[in-house]
Amino acid sequence: MSADWTGFAYLVAAVCFIMALRGLSSPTSARQGNVMGIIGMIIAVTTTLLDPEVISYEIIFAGILVGGTIGTLVAFRINMTALPQLVAAFHSLVGMAAVLVAVAAFYHPEAYGIGTFGNIGTASLIEMSIGAAVGAITFSGSVVAFAKLQGLVSGNPVVFPLQHPLNAVIGIAIVALTVALVFGQDPTSFWAIVILSFLIGFLIIIPIGGADMPVVVSMLNSYSGWAACGIGFTLTNTALIITGALVGSAGAILSYIMCKGMNRSIFNVLLGGFGGETVAAAQQAAGSRSVKQGSADDAAFIMSNANQVIVVPGYGMAVAQAQHALREMADLLKEKGVDVKYAIHPVAGRMPGHMNVLLAEASVPYDEVFELEEINHEFSTADVAFVIGANDVTNPLAKTDPSSPIYGMPILDVEKAGTTLFLKRSLGSGYAGVDNELFFRDKTMMLFGDAKKMAEEIVQALN
């Protein structure tokens, strides 16, 4: 394939990727967005394979076969609740790929047309250093995020004295080593950059608590994009540069939006995190306070006699896979003339859009699902707020207690509804480690049990 046709094909692929991002901006067009992304990737991969510089199709197709088989098996076996940690694992692979490409380019630069070993161009060395550093940070950070999301380690922040100064020193050292590499091209400098980048990626993520995991996932997505962009420069591949830049910038914008949704500074989250801290002033022993407990029959009676019910899904719904039973419950209520809507908090779950994905899987109509800004004013006129598995995103302490780690985070105003039905396994705290004051309000009725089982029992009672 000629250079002109290659450039044109990559341009078409880039346009498809941009249209894919545009489609993914709304649940109603997400499927078309995915299709455009697939078409763009097929064009990009096919164009790359037709490059006359390809010398071993056997190795390429062997890699596609092995990777495709593993990916297919994982896709069929993965639960929807485990999707966030799967995304984190994928990000780690992109990061490691960037590191490996940088290693290959450093030791065999002639294969990439950037010089010879010990005599690599300055621009290529800078690109290589940045790609290796970002890739290593993405890899180690994603591994830590995966371990926290999977429950292999505690989701609480891990902090120690002089943590920020240490990160600053490592960051400065990476920059200094990059300069040394440019002038000396010493393998020791190169490997020092890689090792320190692995270390700082680990140190950046461990102080981030479970309440910040949506931001972590989107930020690692951004890192993986910039790592791919760095690979593109090393490989002089236009499609990879454009794709990496799109993913990197989109992930950064999404991270900013998520932080705005939590009323937090993105720098505070990334440099120290919040959530998971134990704040004595913000907590009370659940056993020392009484709550009003109800049954599925009570919930069915209250909702069937309501004019409007607003459903607030959370991660507990995802864990129990209760979205299908929830939709069936909503359908029965609508048959009885009840107006049912769904309220989604931007950081509900463990990744951006987690609740939207689950509701879409259960075929909940898109026009019944509303974001916080769109529906928060309606809780004051709603008869019932049905909270299923959410916690921190409904906690009134975010508005009243300055000592709380979630203070200042916009929440869903479920406490303003006539009655709040709170479906939860126990009175346990959420990711932020803070008891929910809403549990103990007079207008709140707690429904203890598995979310799916309780929703199914409510369906039976409605029937």
Catalytic residues: 392
Measured distance CA(24)–CA(381) in Å, rounded? 32
158: which residues sit within 8 A by CB, 6+ positions away? Answer: 206, 207
Residues 197 and 133 sit within 8 Å (Cβ to Cβ):
yes
Angle, helices 451-462 vs 323-335, to 10°: value is: 20
CA dist 137 and 142 (Å) reads 8
What is the DSSP secondary structure assignment for residue 110, as one 8-state letter? G
CA distances, 379 to each of 300, 394, 396, 406 (Å): 19, 12, 14, 21
Amino acid at 250: A
| Distance from C-alpha of 50 to C-alpha of 267, rounded to nearest angstrom | 43
DSSP SS3 for 322: coil
CB 313 within 8 A of CB 390: yes
Give the number of other CB atoms < 10 A from CB of residue 248. 21
Q: Is the dihedral of CA 174, 100, 149, 241 positive or negative?
A: positive
Q: How far apart are CA 315 and CA 93, in angstroms?
A: 26
Name every residue whose Cβ is closer than 8 Å to that of residue 326 and which is 6 or more positions away in sequence.
Answer: 311, 313, 317, 362, 388, 455
Reference 391, options 432, 440, 448, 447; nearest CA is 432
Phi and psi angles of residue 263, each rounded to the nearest 5 degrees, phi first: 60, 45
Closest CA to 431 of 267, 274, 313: 274
Identify which of 20, 440, 439, 429 has the alpha carbon closest to the alpha carbon of residue 211.
429
Q: What would the two tokens of residue 153 be?
A: 């380690």
Q: Could you tell me the sign of the dihedral formed by the alpha carbons of 75, 78, 81, 84, in that order?
A: negative
